[in-house]
Amino acid sequence: MHGGGVDTDKQNGGDTASLREKVQLRRGEKWRILKNIITVSVAFMVQFTAFQGTANLQSSINAKDGLGTVSLSVVYAALVVSCIFLPTLVIRKLTVKWTLCVSMLCYAPYIASQFYPRFYTLLPAGVLLGLGAAPMWASKATYLTQLGQVYAKLTDQSVEAIIVRFFGFFFLAWQTAELWGNLISSLVLSSGAHGVAPVVDELGNGTGGSHHDDSNLESCGANFCVVETSNNANLQRPPDSEIFEISAIYLSCIVAAVVIIAVFLDPLSRYGERRRGSISATEISGMQLLSATFKQLKKANQQLLIPITVFIGMQQAFIGADFTQAYVSCALGIHQIGYVMICFGVVNAICSIIFGSAMKYIGRVVIIILGLYGALFRRNKEAAFSNYRLWESVGFVVAYAYSTNLCARMKLYLLFGVLVCGMVGYTIVEIRQLKKEKHLKKLEEIPKQQQTEADRKVIEEDDEKDELEEDIVVTHL
């Protein structure tokens, strides 16, 4: 077979529930896999150049009545619902590639609503974005994980190491979206009236641009409270013309990201999308698909990871809304948000690639965000990643819900408390996983004829076992 492809092999009796695909690939296919990884990464970078840039400005440019923060809260509330009900259904109906395209398009109305930001425009657009986000992230995670398994088989390398390396490269590209998105907003805002240095008259009153005085600084940072900011000139909304220019650029980015996926990404069917045990290959009822995420919650490791996952959402919400408003806009002006967040994005990107490459030397403890769910729940990764997005979104919703009611200092205390709980839960997961791996290794050393029924059941139900690896056939030139 030239390049790559699949050979469908139905089980006895024509049972579609046990449908499998033999994936026949030449070793040269690894270059095509790398092309696909780059394609997904670039598309998400372009996509989140638009969304991250927009989200970082919401608490400042749409501060009236808390519109910007409320709209972000709606986004993640909808994402919680979407994580529960939509990913497995949408991926099953549309396949991974076209789920990515449709889900990415759901971001466009939210960006377009910046041209006319009202509760009745931003909130419905935020709901649509949230509903599309969960299938998009689940599709991305499934695509990267499955290609990682295939690439590992082609190159005779560790599956876990390859998956984490792919996720590391993806997050490198994704985190640079902070750089590009904020660079766009900063250049536009700094070149306009909002970024002009203030003109101070003989009485010391500022008449333009950002205005700095000691009273402003005393109410910024940890002392910042949203209800006490009405007299701060630094928090004035920039001119509509500048916001419209930024939004037009961001909207173009969304369209470009969809085109990149549609034109350049190979469908996952090339690498066994309908592999045994996957959502795509299983002919089950709609209610069973909807319950996949809830079934995943029965696993002890999944429950123990909930606090750290909630923290991830809460800290991202704090950075995107509270940090930008309390520490940047309040003290330096809205036009400085982008420059500060560029530094944040660059460091994130560097850490993503370093930790991804160093995984084989330092283990997975320090790279939980990059690939832990895919490693712990490899067989049930669609449901596992849905749970990740669900609880991360809960963290976003909680943080945005109290954003306008609590001062920054109290928010920091809450974040620290959730972090401590999360680290305790994660430590327990690591201990449990080490014990499990040792136990499985002992069981697998026992000859099959000497294994008890209980032993075979433990091996069979291993979450880290994925039959796709058995179904990859490597052909030689």
Residue the block writes with tokens 């990859």: 472
For residue 25, pLDDT over 90 is answered with: no
Q: Would you state the pLDDT for residue 152?
A: 86
Domain annotation covers residue 240: yes
Q: Would you state the pLDDT for residue 119?
A: 92
The Cα 178–Cα 109 span in angstroms is 20
With contact defined as beta carbons under 8 Å apart, do 257 and 104 qualify? yes
177 and 220 together in one domain? yes
Contacts of 276 (CB under 8 A, 6+ apart): 18, 19, 20, 467, 468, 471
Which DSSP state fits 212?
-
Residue the block writes with tokens 């910046």: 114
181 and 77 together in one domain? yes
Please provide the average confidence, as pLDDT, over all residues in the chain.
76
With contact defined as beta carbons under 8 Å apart, do 88 and 142 qualify? no
- Taking only the tens place, the pLDDT of each residue in 246-280 is 999 999 999 999 999 999 999 888 877 665 444 44
Q: Would you state the pLDDT for residue 186?
A: 84
Domain annotation covers residue 10: no
Backbone phi, psi, residue 106, to 5°: -65, -15
With contact defined as beta carbons under 8 Å apart, do 240 and 188 qualify? no
Element (H, E) at 265: none
Domain annotation covers residue 383: yes
Residue 447 CA to its chain's centroid (Å): 42
465 and 335 together in one domain? no
Under DSSP, is residue 335 helix (H, G, I), strand (E, B) or coil? helix
The Cα 46–Cα 446 span in angstroms is 51
Q: Which of 258, 283, 289 is nearest to 97 (CA)?
A: 258
Q: Would you state the pLDDT for residue 474?
A: 60
5 bridge partner residues = 24
Pairing of strands 4-9, 20-26: antiparallel
469 and 354 together in one domain? no
336 and 456 together in one domain? no
Owning domain of residue 452: 446-476
Q: Which of 219, 230, 233 is nearest to 408 (CA)?
A: 219
Contacts of 83 (CB under 8 A, 6+ apart): 134, 293, 386, 387, 389, 390, 393
The Cα 61–Cα 325 span in angstroms is 10
With contact defined as beta carbons under 8 Å apart, do 73 and 128 qualify? no
Is residue 147 packed enough to be buried (19+ CB in 10 Å), middle (13-18) or exposed (0-12)? buried
171 and 319 together in one domain? yes
With contact defined as beta carbons under 8 Å apart, do 111 and 247 qualify? yes
Q: Is the dihedral of CA 214, 186, 258, 274 positive or negative?
A: negative
Q: Quote the pTM value.
A: 0.72
Q: Which of 58, 114, 335 is nearest to 240 (CA)?
A: 114
Give the residue-averaged pLDDT of 377-390: 68
Give the residue-averaged pLDDT of 125-144: 90
With contact defined as beta carbons under 8 Å apart, do 371 and 159 qualify? no
Q: Would you state the pLDDT for residue 381?
A: 63
Contacts of 169 (CB under 8 A, 6+ apart): 37, 38, 41, 353, 356
Q: What percent of the chain has pLDDT over 90?
A: 21
Domain annotation covers residue 8: no
- Residue 75 carries which side chain, given as an amino acid letter? V
- Residue 180 carries which side chain, given as an amino acid letter? W
63 and 177 together in one domain? yes
Residue 228 CA to its chain's centroid (Å): 33
Specify which of 116-125, 186-195, 314-323 reaches the highest per-range mean pLDDT. Answer: 116-125
403 and 426 together in one domain? yes
Q: For the sheet containing 472-475, what is the strand order?
A: 4-9, 20-26, 472-475
Domain annotation covers residue 129: yes
Domain annotation covers residue 210: no
Is residue 430 packed enough to be buried (19+ CB in 10 Å), middle (13-18) or exposed (0-12)? middle
Under DSSP, is residue 339 helix (H, G, I), strand (E, B) or coil? helix
Domain annotation covers residue 357: yes
251 and 358 together in one domain? yes
Contacts of 204 (CB under 8 A, 6+ apart): none
Report how many domains make up the chain: 2
Residue the block writes with tokens 């970024």: 195
Under DSSP, is residue 4 helix (H, G, I), strand (E, B) or coil? strand
Contacts of 166 (CB under 8 A, 6+ apart): 37, 144, 145, 147, 148, 151
Give the residue-averaged pLDDT of 117-143: 91
> Which two structure tokens, joined as six digits, stand for 162?
């390859």
User: Residue 220 is part of a domain; what is its CATH number?
Assistant: 1.20.1250.20
DSSP string, 72-135: HHHHHHHHHHHHHHSHHHHHHHHHHHHHHHHHHHTTHHHHHGGGS--HHHHHHHHHHHHHHHHH
381 and 472 together in one domain? no
With contact defined as beta carbons under 8 Å apart, do 352 and 344 qualify? no
Q: Would you state the pLDDT for residue 277?
A: 44
Domain annotation covers residue 155: yes
361 and 469 together in one domain? no
The pLDDT-based confidence of 120 (bands split at 50, 70, 90) is very high
The Cα 10–Cα 85 span in angstroms is 29
With contact defined as beta carbons under 8 Å apart, do 277 and 467 qualify? yes
Q: Would you state the pLDDT for residue 470?
A: 54
Count of C-beta atoms within a 10 Å radius of residue 217: 13
103 and 161 together in one domain? yes
Q: Would you state the pLDDT for residue 88?
A: 75
The Cα 52–Cα 74 span in angstroms is 16
- Taking only the tens place, the pLDDT of each residue in 430-462 is 888 788 778 777 776 777 766 676 666 655 555
Of 193 and 420, the one with more pLDDT? 420
